Amino acid sequence: MSLTFEVGEWSAGSFVIKKYVVDADEEMLALCQKLMTVFSYKAFGVLPGKIEVINLIEGTKYEYIPKQEDIITGMADLSRMKEMLQQPEHYTERHFRSECISCAFRSECQGEEVKKEAEQKKNIVH
């Protein structure tokens, strides 16, 4: 996985990250913000003053000011991604439903559940 910063604006005390996207939904924005926060903290030792995500198709700009707790949730997301990449057969396997609430991949997982339920219903003899 890679994360590319298209623009970084630096000042004496802080910096702003600008990411240009073609398509963005809320979950992608949240994940992108957390990953940029983690990267900035790990690479530079400080949080960015602001993260801006500019949607080129819609002409909208989302602004976010990172918080310390974003590092913890971002690291948890990275850990989940690492597990998924190492064990792809367990992508939708979970031990507790509460894990889903904080997962950045919730919509993909729920989509798979809907497909499985539809497949199971096909096998029911009425």
pLDDT digits (tens, 9 = 90+) for 35-87: 999 999 998 899 999 999 988 888 899 999 999 999 999 999 888 888 888 87
**DSSP bridge partners of 17:** 8, 51
- The mean pLDDT value for 91-96 works out to 57
Q: What local confidence, expressed as pLDDT, does residue 61 receive?
A: 92
Please tell me the distance from the alpha carbon of residue 103 to that of residue 27, in angstroms, as a whole number.
Answer: 9
To the question of pTM greater than 0.85 for the whole model, the response is no
Structural tokens at position 78: 């990275």
What pLDDT was estimated at residue 24? 75
Look over the chain and give the mean of its residue pLDDT values, rounded to a whole number.
77
The amino acid present at 47, given as its one-letter code, is L
Distance between CA atoms of 52 and 19, rounded to whole angstroms? 6
Tell me, what's the pLDDT at 10?
A: 80
Assess whether pLDDT exceeds 70 at residue 103.
no
Cα 117 to Cα 113, 120, 122, 123, 124: the distances in Å are 6, 5, 9, 10, 11
